[in-house]
Amino acid sequence: MTSAADKTLGIYIHVPFCMRKCPYCDFYSCENSLHKRDAYVQAVCRNLELYGDGRDVDTIYFGGGTPSLLSPEHIEKILGTVSKAFTQRAPEITMEVNPATVTRETLAAYWRAGVNRLSIGVQDLLEDALKALGRLHTAQQALDTVYAAREAGFENISCDLMIGTKGQTPERLDETLKGLAALPITHVSAYLLKIEEGTPYAGQNMQAEIPTEDAAADLYLQMVSFLETCGFMQYEVSNFARMGFESRHNIRYWKCRPYLGIGPAAHSCLDTRFYVPADLDTFIKEVHQPTCLEDASPCTPEEKIMLGLRLAEGIPLCWLDTRQRKRVERFCKGGLMRTEGERIRFTPEGFLVSNAILAEIL
């Protein structure tokens, strides 16, 4: 069961449109057409009304796909429906933005529509790296998007960064990190590139061209230390924030707090964990979005330990039994975990091998 004490709800809206598929990406998205976007927004609103139970919504997250392919009017319509179907108390409203899809004017209009946090898909600030990632934007466009967002009124801006990409060296990463640190942003999400099966990158045998696992681990540790020096504290494996700007929505996932996912390929965790099949046409056609059960009783003690240890604050030691605590001691001695008072947490080096450690502890 999700955290019983938490009566609030987070809403995730999966926007399944992209201008073009990036060769490394396996998220669900389809080709973008105005007709489909209108029908999709209608279906999102219909589902919000059907799920609406007046519950307090304190985070809303537009993810994708490319949510910035929806117009400000689309976003306004969806947010208007949320406010009618639920209660809202100063929610954090995040929208993922692709720099290739926005202008000064649209950013200002998203702000007026109620969005108050942006997650901008910068990925890198070197042109050749962006090309190799198949991104449609240039480094200058990424910088312009951040400044235009700031001018539009956004104070809470996150940038996405990719680590372990083709040709990335410590020097090249340093250049991108210095560029990011000079921007008026509050948050960085940094992901290690993983070659996903079925993507064009997998077909091109990109694994052989990207940094080795050890080199990527060094790049990750370089990034953690650089960002911390600049005041972005690591609060999760892949997330860094200035004080008070941690993503409230994403913290829900790691603390087993309830969230409702709307849209094809969206996941939810309420009394059960379920997902919507990745099929836009069915989502548009059906009155109520179809769902598939993933877990009838989510947020077991083991799951809470696994999710809680993703956070830099770690978990209370009392969540572990005697046998598990003995195992943890070994990783503390090896510098991969650390106890702080009555809590246990991973070190940055431990985060890199957290899956293997968790498999041994649990």
Q: How far apart are CA 316 and CA 342, in angstroms?
A: 6
Pairing of strands 273-275, 292-295: antiparallel
Which residue from 9, 13, 15, 18 is in contact with ligand SF4, where contact means CB under 6 A? 18
In the bound complex, what is the minimum distance in angstroms from residue 324's beta carbon to ligand SF4?
A: 37
Pairing of strands 233-236, 239-241: antiparallel
Q: Which is nearer to ligand SF4, 65 or 350 (CB)?
A: 65
Q: Which is nearer to ligand SF4, 22 or 192 (CB)?
A: 22
Locate all alpha helices (DSSP H) within the chain, ordered by sequence. 34-51, 72-85, 104-113, 127-132, 139-152, 170-181, 200-203, 213-229, 248-254, 280-285, 301-308, 322-333, 348-352, 354-361
Q: How far apart are CA 99 and CA 139, in angstroms?
A: 9
Q: Does 22 bind ligand SF4 (CB under 6 A)?
A: yes
Q: Which is nearer to ligand SF4, 122 or 312 (CB)?
A: 122
Q: Does 191 bind ligand SF4 (CB under 6 A)?
A: no
Stretch touching ligand SF4 by CB under 6 A, among 21-29, 35-43, 80-88, 232-240: 21-29
Residue 158 tokens, joined: 């996150």
Locate all alpha helices (DSSP H) within 156-205, ordered by sequence. 170-181, 200-203
Pairing of strands 56-64, 87-97: parallel
x/- binding map, residues 67-106, to ligand SF4, per CB under 6 A?
Answer: -------------------------------x--------
x/- binding map, residues 99-138, to ligand SF4, per CB under 6 A?
Answer: ----------------------x-----------------
Q: Which is nearer to ligand SF4, 234 or 239 (CB)?
A: 239
Residue 323 tokens, joined: 């046998």
| Other residues' Cβ atoms within 10 Å of the Cβ of residue 214 | 8
Stretch touching ligand SF4 by CB under 6 A, among 61-69, 162-170, 254-262, 287-295: 61-69
| CA distances to 2, 18, 134, 251, 294 from 63, in Å | 22, 12, 19, 15, 20
Q: Could you tell me if 148 and 160 are in contact, meaning their C-beta atoms sit under 8 angstroms apart?
A: no
Q: What is the dihedral of CA 276, 196, 192, 269, to 10 degrees?
A: 20
Q: Which is nearer to ligand SF4, 18 or 311 (CB)?
A: 18
Which residue from 2, 59, 66, 234 is in contact with ligand SF4, where contact means CB under 6 A? 66
In the bound complex, what is the minimum distance in angstroms from residue 156's beta carbon to ligand SF4?
A: 20
Q: Does 29 bind ligand SF4 (CB under 6 A)?
A: yes
| CA end-to-end distance (rounded Å), the chain | 19
In the bound complex, what is the minimum distance in angstroms from residue 331's beta carbon to ligand SF4?
A: 34
Q: Does 164 bind ligand SF4 (CB under 6 A)?
A: no
Stretch touching ligand SF4 by CB under 6 A, among 17-25, 68-76, 245-253, 258-266: 17-25
Stretch touching ligand SF4 by CB under 6 A, among 23-31, 77-85, 203-211, 304-312: 23-31
| CA distances to 8, 169, 232, 254, 305 from 309, in Å | 23, 29, 19, 8, 6
Question: Which chain residues interact with ligand SF4 by CB under 6 A?
Answer: 18, 21-22, 25, 27, 29, 64-66, 98, 121
